[in-house]
Amino acid sequence: MKTVLCFGDSNTWGHRPDGSGRYALNERWPGVMEAVLGDGFRVLVEGLGGRTTVHDDPIDGAHLNGLTYLTPCLASQKPIDLVVIMLGTNDLKHRFSVLADDIARAAGKLVQLVQQSDAGPQGSAPDVLLVAPAPVLEVGAVGIRFTGGQAKSQQFSATYAAVADELGCHFLNAGDHITSSQIDGIHLDVDAHLLLGQAIAARVLEIME
């Protein structure tokens, strides 16, 4: 059996755009992916609302730093065959004031951490699939926190692809398959979860062949 770890933020956790809680397990993209992959796969989900790539959030807390959490996460879940990383949306918050290229390179630090770990089978390093998050929309009450983020996020497809190529990991651009919800501009509608789960599952099957 192959083990896939999904490491992400509130869109991996399954946050509803209208703020009414969390999608059911089978509606969230990791749940959709697991259903598509079938019995030969086990999908572990590490999604946390507000999680950044490498930043201690000065308002919401240092525990949201994905880089510091990833090492113990890998250690507790190993052996892992593949780690799917989809982070960077929260780095778009105006408080961090970082460029799209910086965000992609920060995501690359997570990739490198996995590649340098012994969390794979027989102490090897797991494969990594880096997913560029879908572009955000600056709408609603949440949008003001992401002022300037829409334009930056539209560069993710290129900046993340460049980092994936540099580091030799697998890549998928979520924006090729889905768009962010018009409700809050950040999270995904249930249909987007379905499409994203199917797209990532197809990519995982290609990788694990």
Mean pLDDT of 130-134: 98
Mind listing the pLDDT tens digit for each residue in 8-39?
A: 999 999 999 999 999 999 999 999 999 999 99
**Mean pLDDT value across the chain:** 97
CB 166 within 8 A of CB 101: no
> Residue 144: exposed, middle, or buried by beta-carbon count in 10 A (0-12, 13-18, 19+)?
exposed
User: What is the pLDDT averaged over residues 82-91?
Assistant: 98
Question: Collapsing DSSP states into helix, strand and coil, what is residue 83?
Answer: strand
Instruction: Give the three-state DSSP class for 192.
Output: helix
Q: What does the pLDDT look like over 46-64, one tens digit per residue?
A: 999 999 999 999 999 999 9
Question: Is 17 in contact with 187 (CB distance < 8 Å)?
Answer: yes
Domains of the chain, start order:
2-208 (3.40.50.1110)
Nearest CA among 101, 89, 66 for reference residue 143: 89
Q: Answer for the pair 198, 37: CB distance below 8 angstroms, yes or no.
A: no
Backbone angles phi, psi at 86, to 5 degrees: -130, 90
pLDDT digits (tens, 9 = 90+) for 140-181: 777 789 999 999 999 999 999 999 999 999 999 999 999 999
Query: How many DSSP H helices and E strands does the chain contain?
Result: 8, 5
Instruction: List Cα–Cα distances, 127 to 33, 77, 119, 176, in angstroms.
Output: 17, 14, 10, 22
Residue-level pLDDT at 141: 73
Work out the percent of the chain whose per-residue pLDDT is above 70: 100
pLDDT of residue 24: 98
Distance of alpha carbon 125 from alpha carbon 146, whole angstroms: 35
Q: What is the pTM of this model?
A: 0.97
Instruction: For residues 30 and 36, give the distance between their C-alpha atoms in angstroms, rounded to a whole number.
Output: 10
pLDDT for position 93 = 96
How many residues appear in the chain? Answer: 209
